[in-house]
A = this chain, B = another copy of it.
């Protein structure tokens, strides 16, 4: 469904949404523990996200990663877009490179509607939205 990397990235971003802002930054070493992801690995992912402006960072003392207000408005899918290497999330479920409505594979009818709904959902929901649900206690950030 989602690669490990994507999951890690989403967890980390959500953690930042809940624990950082423009003047409260979080260092990688303080992220990896709570979200239960190896430090060196999450560091790499955060760097990628930062480079693509999904999250913000500043280096040196008092530096760290954080989410600006603008960052928070972005969709969950934008995280996946950066991390997911294969765009298998967008391709045909059997073998074709791309789905072809005119020449659908046997699984298309069954699976495609779901997949496109999932993607639409992930595009329409923002980081902020998800973080809010956690703050309200409706959903839970793991472990």
How many residues of chain A get a CB closer than 8 Å to chain B's CBs? 40
A139 touching B10 in the complex, CB below 8 Å, given contacts A1-B115, A2-B93 = no
Please give the residue numbers on chain A whose beta carbons come within 8 Å of chain B beta carbons, in ascending order. 1-2, 7, 10-11, 14, 35-36, 76, 88-89, 93-96, 103-111, 114-115, 117-118, 121-122, 125, 130, 133-134, 138-143
Tally of this chain's copies: 2
Residues of B close to A10: CB separation below 8 A: 94, 106-107
Residues in B whose Cβ lies below 8 Å from that of A115: 1
Q: Is the CB of A142 within 8 A of B7?
A: no
Q: Which residue of B94, B109, B130 is within 8 Å of A106 (Cβ)?
A: B130
